[in-house]
Protein backbone atom coordinates (compact mmCIF):
# COMPACT_ATOMS: atom_id res chain seq x y z
CA UNK A 1 0.00 0.00 0.00
CA UNK A 2 0.99 3.67 -0.39
CA UNK A 3 1.92 5.06 3.04
CA UNK A 4 1.38 8.81 3.76
CA UNK A 5 3.59 8.79 6.87
CA UNK A 6 7.03 8.20 5.33
CA UNK A 7 7.87 11.90 5.04
CA UNK A 8 7.41 12.52 8.78
CA UNK A 9 8.88 9.23 10.00
CA UNK A 10 11.87 8.37 7.80
CA UNK A 11 14.50 10.74 9.18
CA UNK A 12 17.76 8.79 9.18
CA UNK A 13 20.53 8.90 6.58
CA UNK A 14 22.43 5.61 6.20
CA UNK A 15 25.84 7.31 6.22
CA UNK A 16 25.26 8.94 9.60
CA UNK A 17 23.02 6.36 11.26
CA UNK A 18 24.56 4.53 14.18
CA UNK A 19 23.72 0.94 13.34
CA UNK A 20 24.95 -1.99 15.46
CA UNK A 21 27.92 -4.10 14.41
CA UNK A 22 27.55 -7.31 12.40
CA UNK A 23 24.95 -8.47 9.90
CA UNK A 24 21.51 -6.78 10.16
CA UNK A 25 19.71 -10.14 10.06
CA UNK A 26 21.40 -11.09 13.36
CA UNK A 27 21.04 -7.75 15.21
CA UNK A 28 19.61 -8.00 18.71
CA UNK A 29 16.63 -6.21 20.22
CA UNK A 30 17.84 -3.34 22.44
CA UNK A 31 15.32 -4.41 25.12
CA UNK A 32 15.24 -8.22 25.30
CA UNK A 33 18.43 -8.97 23.29
CA UNK A 34 16.54 -11.43 21.05
CA UNK A 35 18.03 -11.81 17.56
CA UNK A 36 14.83 -13.19 16.06
CA UNK A 37 13.10 -10.91 13.54
CA UNK A 38 15.03 -7.65 14.22
CA UNK A 39 13.30 -4.46 13.00
CA UNK A 40 15.04 -1.08 12.77
CA UNK A 41 13.17 2.19 13.37
CA UNK A 42 13.58 4.53 10.38
CA UNK A 43 13.27 7.56 12.68
CA UNK A 44 16.01 6.87 15.22
CA UNK A 45 17.76 3.67 13.91
CA UNK A 46 17.08 1.78 17.16
CA UNK A 47 16.63 -2.00 16.78
CA UNK A 48 13.80 -3.96 18.40
CA UNK A 49 12.21 -7.38 17.94
CA UNK A 50 9.13 -7.81 15.73
CA UNK A 51 5.57 -8.17 16.96
CA UNK A 52 5.66 -11.97 16.74
CA UNK A 53 8.69 -12.26 19.05
CA UNK A 54 8.25 -9.98 22.07
CA UNK A 55 6.75 -7.00 20.25
CA UNK A 56 9.28 -4.39 21.37
CA UNK A 57 9.30 -2.69 17.93
CA UNK A 58 5.59 -2.03 18.31
CA UNK A 59 6.05 -0.88 21.91
CA UNK A 60 8.76 1.54 20.74
CA UNK A 61 6.20 3.06 18.33
CA UNK A 62 3.49 3.19 21.01
CA UNK A 63 5.79 4.83 23.58
CA UNK A 64 6.78 7.48 21.03
CA UNK A 65 3.12 8.42 20.51
CA UNK A 66 2.44 9.34 24.15
CA UNK A 67 3.68 12.96 23.86
CA UNK A 68 1.46 13.44 20.79
CA UNK A 69 -1.69 13.10 22.94
CA UNK A 70 -0.75 16.33 24.75
CA UNK A 71 -2.50 19.42 23.30
CA UNK A 72 0.73 21.42 23.74
CA UNK A 73 2.81 19.25 21.41
CA UNK A 74 5.69 20.98 19.70
CA UNK A 75 6.33 21.04 15.98
CA UNK A 76 9.32 18.71 16.49
CA UNK A 77 7.19 16.17 18.39
CA UNK A 78 4.57 16.27 15.64
CA UNK A 79 7.10 15.47 12.94
CA UNK A 80 9.04 12.72 14.72
CA UNK A 81 6.64 9.79 14.93
CA UNK A 82 8.70 6.53 14.92
CA UNK A 83 5.87 4.89 12.97
CA UNK A 84 7.88 3.26 10.16
CA UNK A 85 10.44 0.47 10.54
CA UNK A 86 12.26 -1.99 8.30
CA UNK A 87 12.65 -5.74 8.67
CA UNK A 88 16.42 -6.33 8.89
CA UNK A 89 16.18 -9.75 7.22
CA UNK A 90 13.80 -9.14 4.30
CA UNK A 91 14.21 -5.32 4.04
CA UNK A 92 10.44 -4.86 3.80
CA UNK A 93 9.05 -1.61 5.25
CA UNK A 94 6.17 -1.55 7.74
CA UNK A 95 4.06 1.34 9.03
CA UNK A 96 2.38 0.89 12.41
CA UNK A 97 -0.14 3.67 11.79
CA UNK A 98 -1.20 2.06 8.50
CA UNK A 99 -0.79 -1.38 10.09
CA UNK A 100 0.55 -2.79 6.81
CA UNK A 101 3.67 -3.20 4.70
CA UNK A 102 4.29 -0.30 2.33
CA UNK A 103 5.74 -0.09 -1.19
CA UNK A 104 6.33 3.64 -1.77
CA UNK A 105 9.32 5.80 -0.79
CA UNK A 106 10.12 9.35 0.26
CA UNK A 107 10.85 12.01 -2.34
CA UNK A 108 14.58 11.63 -1.64
CA UNK A 109 14.40 7.83 -1.81
CA UNK A 110 15.55 7.41 1.81
CA UNK A 111 13.86 4.02 2.28
CA UNK A 112 15.72 2.51 -0.68
CA UNK A 113 18.98 4.06 0.55
CA UNK A 114 18.53 2.45 3.98
CA UNK A 115 17.63 -0.85 2.31
CA UNK A 116 20.77 -0.78 0.14
CA UNK A 117 22.91 0.17 3.15
CA UNK A 118 21.56 -2.76 5.18
CA UNK A 119 22.16 -5.09 2.24
CA UNK A 120 25.76 -3.89 2.00
CA UNK A 121 26.26 -4.46 5.72
CA UNK A 122 24.75 -7.96 5.40
CA UNK A 123 26.94 -8.83 2.42
CA UNK A 124 30.07 -7.55 4.17
CA UNK A 125 29.33 -9.55 7.30
CA UNK A 126 28.42 -12.61 5.22
CA UNK A 127 31.66 -12.39 3.22
CA UNK A 128 33.72 -12.06 6.41
CA UNK A 129 31.92 -15.01 7.97
CA UNK A 130 32.41 -17.07 4.82
CA UNK A 131 36.17 -16.35 4.82
CA UNK A 132 36.34 -17.29 8.50
CA UNK A 133 34.54 -20.60 7.93
CA UNK A 134 36.67 -21.37 4.89
CA UNK A 135 39.81 -20.77 6.93
CA UNK A 136 38.56 -23.01 9.72
CA UNK A 137 37.69 -25.68 7.16
CA UNK A 138 41.14 -25.56 5.61
CA UNK A 139 42.95 -25.64 8.96
CA UNK A 140 40.81 -28.17 10.79
CA UNK A 141 41.90 -31.78 10.53
CA UNK A 142 38.59 -32.82 12.11
CA UNK A 143 36.60 -31.25 9.31
CA UNK A 144 38.91 -32.86 6.75
CA UNK A 145 38.06 -36.26 8.22
CA UNK A 146 34.36 -35.51 8.19
CA UNK A 147 34.44 -34.61 4.51
CA UNK A 148 36.54 -37.56 3.38
CA UNK A 149 34.46 -39.66 1.00
CA UNK A 150 35.84 -42.67 -0.92
CA UNK A 151 39.36 -41.76 0.11
CA UNK A 152 39.28 -38.18 -1.19
CA UNK A 153 38.45 -34.94 0.60
CA UNK A 154 35.45 -33.08 -0.80
CA UNK A 155 33.96 -29.65 -0.08
CA UNK A 156 30.71 -29.33 1.86
CA UNK A 157 28.44 -28.25 -1.00
CA UNK A 158 25.19 -28.03 0.99
CA UNK A 159 23.60 -24.60 1.48
CA UNK A 160 21.58 -23.58 4.52
CA UNK A 161 18.45 -21.40 4.59
CA UNK A 162 18.40 -18.27 6.71
CA UNK A 163 15.68 -18.00 9.34
CA UNK A 164 13.52 -14.94 8.53
CA UNK A 165 11.82 -14.97 11.94
CA UNK A 166 10.44 -18.35 13.09
CA UNK A 167 10.56 -19.70 9.52
CA UNK A 168 12.32 -22.94 10.51
CA UNK A 169 9.09 -24.79 9.64
CA UNK A 170 9.48 -23.65 6.02
CA UNK A 171 13.24 -24.24 5.89
CA UNK A 172 12.94 -27.84 7.10
CA UNK A 173 10.34 -28.66 4.42
CA UNK A 174 12.30 -26.92 1.64
CA UNK A 175 15.50 -28.78 2.53
CA UNK A 176 13.63 -32.09 2.60
CA UNK A 177 12.00 -31.51 -0.80
CA UNK A 178 15.33 -30.37 -2.27
CA UNK A 179 16.73 -33.84 -1.54
CA UNK A 180 13.97 -35.71 -3.38
CA UNK A 181 15.90 -36.01 -6.62
CA UNK A 182 13.20 -36.43 -9.24
CA UNK A 183 10.94 -33.77 -7.72
CA UNK A 184 13.74 -31.24 -7.28
CA UNK A 185 15.18 -31.78 -10.78
CA UNK A 186 11.82 -31.09 -12.40
CA UNK A 187 11.62 -27.58 -10.93
CA UNK A 188 15.30 -26.78 -11.45
CA UNK A 189 14.93 -27.56 -15.18
CA UNK A 190 11.85 -25.37 -15.68
CA UNK A 191 12.40 -22.25 -17.82
CA UNK A 192 12.68 -19.04 -15.80
CA UNK A 193 9.57 -16.88 -15.68
CA UNK A 194 9.97 -13.09 -15.81
CA UNK A 195 7.51 -11.69 -13.30
CA UNK A 196 8.02 -8.01 -14.13
CA UNK A 197 8.30 -6.26 -17.50
CA UNK A 198 9.10 -2.81 -18.83
CA UNK A 199 10.88 -0.30 -16.58
CA UNK A 200 11.01 -2.64 -13.58
CA UNK A 201 12.49 -5.60 -15.47
CA UNK A 202 15.52 -7.01 -13.72
CA UNK A 203 14.90 -5.11 -10.50
CA UNK A 204 14.35 -6.96 -7.25
CA UNK A 205 10.69 -7.16 -6.26
CA UNK A 206 9.66 -6.80 -2.62
CA UNK A 207 6.32 -8.57 -2.39
CA UNK A 208 3.89 -7.20 0.17
CA UNK A 209 0.40 -8.08 1.28
CA UNK A 210 -1.03 -5.12 -0.65
CA UNK A 211 0.16 -6.29 -4.07
CA UNK A 212 -2.11 -8.26 -6.38
CA UNK A 213 -1.75 -12.02 -6.69
CA UNK A 214 -1.30 -11.82 -10.45
CA UNK A 215 2.32 -10.61 -10.25
CA UNK A 216 3.69 -13.43 -8.09
CA UNK A 217 4.56 -17.01 -8.97
CA UNK A 218 5.05 -19.64 -6.29
CA UNK A 219 6.53 -22.05 -8.85
CA UNK A 220 9.12 -19.49 -9.95
CA UNK A 221 10.25 -18.57 -6.43
CA UNK A 222 10.29 -22.25 -5.45
CA UNK A 223 12.44 -22.96 -8.53
CA UNK A 224 14.88 -20.18 -7.64
CA UNK A 225 15.20 -21.46 -4.07
CA UNK A 226 15.93 -25.02 -5.18
CA UNK A 227 18.50 -23.76 -7.69
CA UNK A 228 20.28 -21.86 -4.91
CA UNK A 229 20.69 -25.04 -2.84
CA UNK A 230 23.49 -27.57 -3.43
CA UNK A 231 25.56 -25.18 -5.54
CA UNK A 232 28.23 -24.74 -2.88
CA UNK A 233 28.62 -21.05 -3.75
CA UNK A 234 27.34 -19.82 -0.37
CA UNK A 235 26.88 -21.14 3.15
CA UNK A 236 23.30 -19.86 3.50
CA UNK A 237 20.58 -18.57 1.19
CA UNK A 238 17.86 -16.14 2.25
CA UNK A 239 14.44 -17.26 0.90
CA UNK A 240 12.64 -13.97 1.60
CA UNK A 241 11.19 -13.70 -1.93
CA UNK A 242 9.59 -17.13 -1.60
CA UNK A 243 8.39 -16.30 1.92
CA UNK A 244 6.56 -13.18 0.78
CA UNK A 245 4.94 -15.03 -2.10
CA UNK A 246 3.77 -17.51 0.54
CA UNK A 247 2.34 -14.54 2.48
CA UNK A 248 0.47 -13.44 -0.63
CA UNK A 249 -1.19 -16.72 -1.56
CA UNK A 250 -1.32 -18.50 1.81
CA UNK A 251 -2.78 -16.03 4.36
CA UNK A 252 -2.49 -18.65 7.14
CA UNK A 253 1.29 -18.18 7.15
CA UNK A 254 1.46 -14.38 7.34
CA UNK A 255 3.50 -13.04 10.22
CA UNK A 256 6.48 -14.39 12.09
CA UNK A 257 4.90 -16.80 14.57
CA UNK A 258 5.84 -20.48 14.57
CA UNK A 259 3.76 -22.61 12.17
CA UNK A 260 3.11 -26.33 11.68
CA UNK A 261 5.61 -27.78 9.17
CA UNK A 262 3.15 -30.45 7.99
CA UNK A 263 0.41 -27.91 7.39
CA UNK A 264 2.86 -25.75 5.44
CA UNK A 265 3.98 -28.72 3.33
CA UNK A 266 0.39 -29.55 2.38
CA UNK A 267 -0.42 -25.94 1.46
CA UNK A 268 2.84 -25.67 -0.51
CA UNK A 269 2.26 -28.85 -2.52
CA UNK A 270 -1.41 -28.00 -3.14
CA UNK A 271 -0.60 -24.51 -4.45
CA UNK A 272 2.31 -25.76 -6.56
CA UNK A 273 -0.05 -28.35 -8.02
CA UNK A 274 -2.70 -25.73 -8.84
CA UNK A 275 -0.20 -23.32 -10.43
CA UNK A 276 1.48 -26.09 -12.44
CA UNK A 277 -1.80 -26.85 -14.17
CA UNK A 278 -1.19 -23.71 -16.22
CA UNK A 279 1.67 -23.15 -18.70
CA UNK A 280 5.12 -21.54 -18.79
CA UNK A 281 6.06 -19.01 -21.48
CA UNK A 282 3.69 -20.64 -23.94
CA UNK A 283 4.96 -24.17 -23.24
CA UNK A 284 2.25 -26.49 -21.98
CA UNK A 285 2.68 -28.07 -18.57
CA UNK A 286 2.27 -31.60 -19.94
CA UNK A 287 5.18 -31.13 -22.37
CA UNK A 288 7.45 -29.84 -19.59
CA UNK A 289 6.37 -32.69 -17.31
CA UNK A 290 7.33 -35.36 -19.82
CA UNK A 291 10.53 -33.73 -21.12
CA UNK A 292 12.05 -32.64 -17.83
CA UNK A 293 11.11 -35.38 -15.39
CA UNK A 294 10.63 -38.47 -17.53
CA UNK A 295 7.29 -39.24 -15.87
CA UNK A 296 4.77 -41.08 -18.01
CA UNK A 297 1.17 -39.93 -18.16
CA UNK A 298 -0.10 -43.36 -17.11
CA UNK A 299 1.74 -43.07 -13.80
CA UNK A 300 0.14 -39.83 -12.67
CA UNK A 301 -2.44 -39.59 -9.90
CA UNK A 302 -5.04 -36.89 -10.52
CA UNK A 303 -5.99 -34.63 -7.57
CA UNK A 304 -8.08 -31.48 -8.03
CA UNK A 305 -7.91 -31.33 -11.82
CA UNK A 306 -5.12 -32.28 -14.23
CA UNK A 307 -2.11 -34.24 -13.01
CA UNK A 308 1.22 -32.51 -12.33
CA UNK A 309 4.67 -33.47 -11.07
CA UNK A 310 3.29 -33.07 -7.53
CA UNK A 311 0.72 -35.82 -7.98
CA UNK A 312 3.06 -37.87 -10.18
CA UNK A 313 5.63 -38.01 -7.36
CA UNK A 314 3.57 -37.85 -4.15
CA UNK A 315 0.17 -39.02 -5.37
CA UNK A 316 -1.26 -42.32 -4.20
CA UNK A 317 -4.77 -43.77 -3.92
CA UNK A 318 -6.54 -45.17 -0.83
CA UNK A 319 -9.55 -47.46 -0.82
CA UNK A 320 -11.91 -46.58 2.02
CA UNK A 321 -14.05 -49.62 2.85
CA UNK A 322 -17.08 -49.16 5.16
CA UNK A 323 -19.35 -52.04 6.28
CA UNK A 324 -22.74 -51.64 7.95
CA UNK A 325 -22.87 -53.80 11.10
CA UNK A 326 -26.66 -54.19 10.85
CA UNK A 327 -27.24 -55.37 7.27
CA UNK A 328 -23.68 -56.06 6.10
CA UNK A 329 -23.82 -53.59 3.17
CA UNK A 330 -20.35 -52.70 1.96
CA UNK A 331 -19.41 -49.27 0.60
CA UNK A 332 -16.14 -48.56 -1.19
CA UNK A 333 -14.64 -45.20 -2.07
CA UNK A 334 -11.29 -44.32 -3.64
CA UNK A 335 -9.48 -41.28 -2.21
CA UNK A 336 -6.31 -39.75 -3.70
CA UNK A 337 -3.63 -38.68 -1.20
CA UNK A 338 -0.32 -36.80 -1.13
CA UNK A 339 0.65 -38.00 2.34
CA UNK A 340 -0.65 -40.30 5.07
CA UNK A 341 -1.24 -38.97 8.59
CA UNK A 342 -0.63 -41.71 11.14
CA UNK A 343 -1.72 -41.82 14.79
CA UNK A 344 0.81 -42.94 17.39
CA UNK A 345 -1.09 -45.77 19.17
CA UNK A 346 -2.20 -44.76 22.67
CA UNK A 347 -0.38 -47.66 24.38
CA UNK A 348 2.97 -46.18 23.31
CA UNK A 349 2.39 -42.54 24.21
CA UNK A 350 4.37 -42.61 27.47
CA UNK A 351 7.53 -44.05 25.90
CA UNK A 352 9.61 -40.93 25.21
CA UNK A 353 13.08 -42.30 24.47
CA UNK A 354 14.53 -45.18 22.47
CA UNK A 355 16.19 -46.78 25.52
CA UNK A 356 13.30 -46.36 27.98
CA UNK A 357 12.34 -49.68 29.59
CA UNK A 358 8.60 -49.19 30.18
CA UNK A 359 7.02 -51.47 27.62
CA UNK A 360 7.64 -52.34 23.96
CA UNK A 361 9.12 -49.96 21.41
CA UNK A 362 6.72 -48.10 19.13
CA UNK A 363 7.65 -48.67 15.49
CA UNK A 364 6.54 -47.10 12.24
CA UNK A 365 4.91 -50.42 11.40
CA UNK A 366 2.74 -50.08 14.54
CA UNK A 367 1.55 -46.67 13.28
CA UNK A 368 0.84 -48.03 9.78
CA UNK A 369 -1.00 -51.01 11.21
CA UNK A 370 -3.12 -48.71 13.39
CA UNK A 371 -3.98 -46.67 10.28
CA UNK A 372 -5.01 -49.64 8.12
CA UNK A 373 -6.53 -52.03 10.69
CA UNK A 374 -10.27 -52.61 10.82
CA UNK A 375 -11.92 -50.26 13.32
CA UNK A 376 -15.47 -49.70 14.53
CA UNK A 377 -16.67 -46.13 14.08
CA UNK A 378 -17.89 -44.42 17.24
CA UNK A 379 -21.29 -42.83 17.84
CA UNK A 380 -20.19 -39.50 16.35
CA UNK A 381 -19.26 -41.14 13.02
CA UNK A 382 -22.33 -43.24 12.25
CA UNK A 383 -22.47 -44.40 8.63
CA UNK A 384 -25.51 -43.55 6.47
CA UNK A 385 -26.46 -46.97 5.13
CA UNK A 386 -28.29 -46.74 1.80
CA UNK A 387 -29.97 -50.12 2.34
CA UNK A 388 -31.12 -49.43 5.91
CA UNK A 389 -32.01 -45.83 4.91
CA UNK A 390 -30.54 -44.46 8.17
CA UNK A 391 -27.29 -43.99 10.07
CA UNK A 392 -25.97 -47.24 11.49
CA UNK A 393 -22.99 -48.56 13.38
CA UNK A 394 -20.27 -49.63 10.99
CA UNK A 395 -16.64 -50.60 10.58
CA UNK A 396 -13.99 -48.89 8.49
CA UNK A 397 -10.79 -50.13 6.88
CA UNK A 398 -8.20 -48.52 4.63
CA UNK A 399 -6.31 -50.27 1.84
CA UNK A 400 -3.67 -48.68 -0.36
CA UNK A 401 -4.83 -49.12 -3.94
CA UNK A 402 -1.80 -47.33 -5.47
CA UNK A 403 1.50 -46.48 -3.82
CA UNK A 404 3.27 -43.19 -4.71
CA UNK A 405 6.84 -42.80 -5.90
CA UNK A 406 7.58 -40.82 -2.73
CA UNK A 407 5.67 -41.98 0.34
CA UNK A 408 5.25 -39.10 2.79
CA UNK A 409 4.28 -40.24 6.30
CA UNK A 410 3.15 -37.69 8.88
CA UNK A 411 3.16 -38.79 12.53
CA UNK A 412 0.32 -37.02 14.37
CA UNK A 413 2.30 -35.65 17.30
CA UNK A 414 -0.05 -32.77 18.09
CA UNK A 415 -3.54 -33.33 19.46
CA UNK A 416 -6.15 -31.13 21.06
CA UNK A 417 -7.13 -31.49 24.69
CA UNK A 418 -9.96 -29.52 26.30
CA UNK A 419 -7.94 -26.30 26.50
CA UNK A 420 -4.74 -26.62 24.48
CA UNK A 421 -2.85 -28.55 21.83
CA UNK A 422 -0.41 -31.05 23.33
CA UNK A 423 2.53 -32.86 21.80
CA UNK A 424 3.01 -36.65 21.79
CA UNK A 425 6.75 -36.92 22.42
CA UNK A 426 6.96 -40.68 21.93
CA UNK A 427 10.00 -42.05 20.11
CA UNK A 428 8.92 -43.99 17.00
CA UNK A 429 11.46 -46.39 15.51
CA UNK A 430 11.68 -46.12 11.71
CA UNK A 431 13.84 -47.92 9.13
CA UNK A 432 16.38 -46.15 6.94
CA UNK A 433 16.00 -48.83 4.26
CA UNK A 434 13.66 -51.59 3.16
CA UNK A 435 10.32 -50.22 4.36
CA UNK A 436 8.02 -52.88 2.87
CA UNK A 437 4.51 -51.61 2.09
CA UNK A 438 3.24 -54.77 0.34
CA UNK A 439 1.09 -55.95 3.26
CA UNK A 440 -0.96 -52.71 3.13
CA UNK A 441 -1.78 -53.02 -0.57
CA UNK A 442 -5.22 -53.89 -1.84
CA UNK A 443 -3.78 -56.25 -4.48
CA UNK A 444 -0.24 -57.18 -3.35
CA UNK A 445 -0.07 -60.07 -5.84
CA UNK A 446 0.06 -57.58 -8.73
CA UNK A 447 3.19 -55.80 -7.45
CA UNK A 448 6.78 -56.63 -8.37
CA UNK A 449 9.43 -57.90 -5.91
CA UNK A 450 10.89 -54.43 -5.27
CA UNK A 451 7.96 -52.19 -6.19
CA UNK A 452 6.85 -51.91 -2.55
CA UNK A 453 10.27 -51.30 -0.97
CA UNK A 454 11.13 -47.77 0.17
CA UNK A 455 14.31 -46.08 1.41
CA UNK A 456 14.34 -42.99 3.61
CA UNK A 457 15.28 -39.73 1.84
CA UNK A 458 14.50 -37.12 4.51
CA UNK A 459 12.96 -36.67 7.95
CA UNK A 460 11.62 -33.50 9.60
CA UNK A 461 11.96 -33.23 13.39
CA UNK A 462 10.13 -30.92 15.80
CA UNK A 463 12.09 -29.95 18.91
CA UNK A 464 10.05 -28.56 21.80
CA UNK A 465 6.69 -29.03 23.48
CA UNK A 466 4.04 -27.25 21.40
CA UNK A 467 3.04 -26.65 17.79
CA UNK A 468 3.19 -22.87 18.26
CA UNK A 469 6.68 -22.99 19.73
CA UNK A 470 9.84 -25.07 19.49
CA UNK A 471 12.07 -25.50 16.47
CA UNK A 472 12.15 -27.57 13.26
CA UNK A 473 15.21 -29.18 11.67
CA UNK A 474 15.61 -31.80 8.95
CA UNK A 475 17.86 -34.73 8.15
CA UNK A 476 18.31 -35.71 4.50
CA UNK A 477 20.55 -37.94 2.44
CA UNK A 478 22.39 -36.58 -0.58
CA UNK A 479 24.74 -38.66 -2.75
CA UNK A 480 25.13 -41.28 -0.03
CA UNK A 481 25.79 -38.86 2.84
CA UNK A 482 23.44 -37.72 5.61
CA UNK A 483 23.17 -34.01 6.40
CA UNK A 484 21.51 -32.17 9.27
CA UNK A 485 19.79 -28.95 8.16
CA UNK A 486 19.30 -26.45 10.98
CA UNK A 487 18.35 -23.19 9.24
CA UNK A 488 21.65 -21.56 8.15
CA UNK A 489 23.77 -24.36 9.60
CA UNK A 490 24.35 -27.55 7.61
CA UNK A 491 26.48 -30.34 9.09
CA UNK A 492 27.44 -33.84 8.04
CA UNK A 493 25.99 -36.51 10.29
CA UNK A 494 25.71 -40.30 10.44
CA UNK A 495 22.94 -42.89 10.27
CA UNK A 496 23.14 -43.59 14.01
CA UNK A 497 22.17 -39.98 14.75
CA UNK A 498 19.34 -40.00 12.20
CA UNK A 499 17.63 -43.13 13.57
CA UNK A 500 17.56 -41.60 17.08
CA UNK A 501 15.52 -38.60 15.89
CA UNK A 502 11.90 -38.22 16.99
CA UNK A 503 10.46 -38.05 13.50
CA UNK A 504 7.53 -35.79 12.63
CA UNK A 505 7.44 -36.18 8.82
CA UNK A 506 9.19 -38.99 6.93
CA UNK A 507 9.88 -39.00 3.18
CA UNK A 508 10.45 -42.48 1.70
CA UNK A 509 11.46 -42.95 -1.95
CA UNK A 510 10.36 -46.02 -3.88
CA UNK A 511 13.43 -48.08 -4.67
CA UNK A 512 12.44 -48.58 -8.32
CA UNK A 513 11.78 -44.82 -8.75
CA UNK A 514 15.08 -44.09 -7.01
CA UNK A 515 16.95 -46.39 -9.38
CA UNK A 516 15.26 -44.75 -12.35
CA UNK A 517 16.15 -41.25 -11.19
CA UNK A 518 19.79 -42.25 -10.69
CA UNK A 519 19.94 -43.16 -14.37
CA UNK A 520 18.58 -39.81 -15.59
Rounded CA separation 326/403 (Å): 33
- Tell me which of 41, 168, 301, 367 is the catalytic residue: 168
Tell me whether residue 408 is one of the annotated catalytic residues: no
- Tell me which of 5, 117, 463, 471 is the catalytic residue: 471
Tell me whether residue 471 is one of the annotated catalytic residues: yes
Other Cβ atoms within 10 Å of 294 Cβ, number: 14
Q: What does the chain come to in residues?
A: 520
Note the Cα 17 to chain centre separation in Å.
Answer: 35
Rounded CA separation 30/96 (Å): 19
3-state secondary structure of 436: strand
Helix 261-276 vs helix 218-228: angle between axes, to the nearest 10 degrees?
Answer: 120
Rounded CA separation 241/162 (Å): 12
Q: Do 248 and 216 contact (CB within 8 A), yes or no?
A: yes
What is the 3-state secondary structure of 307-359?
CCHHHHHHCEEEEEEEEECCCCCEEEEEEEECCEEECCCHHHCCCCCCCCCCC
Q: What is the DSSP string of 497-520?
A: HHHTS-EEEEEEEEHHHHHHHHH-
- Give catalytic residue positions: 168, 471
Amino acid sequence: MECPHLGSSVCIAPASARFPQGSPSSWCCSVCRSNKSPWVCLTCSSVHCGRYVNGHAKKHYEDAQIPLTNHKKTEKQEKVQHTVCMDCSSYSTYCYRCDDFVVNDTKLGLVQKVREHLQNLENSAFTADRHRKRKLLENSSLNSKLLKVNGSTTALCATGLRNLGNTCFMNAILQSLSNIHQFCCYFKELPAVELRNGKTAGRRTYHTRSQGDNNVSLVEEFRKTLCALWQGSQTAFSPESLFYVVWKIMPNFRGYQQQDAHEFMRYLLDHLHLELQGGFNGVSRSVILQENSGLSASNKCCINGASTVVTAIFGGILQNEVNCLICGTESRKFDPFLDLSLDIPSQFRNKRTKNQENGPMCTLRDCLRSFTDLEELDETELYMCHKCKKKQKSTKKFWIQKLPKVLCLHLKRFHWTEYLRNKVDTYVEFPLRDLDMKCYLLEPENSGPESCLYDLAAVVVHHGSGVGSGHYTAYATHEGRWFHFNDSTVTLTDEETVVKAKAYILFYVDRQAKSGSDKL
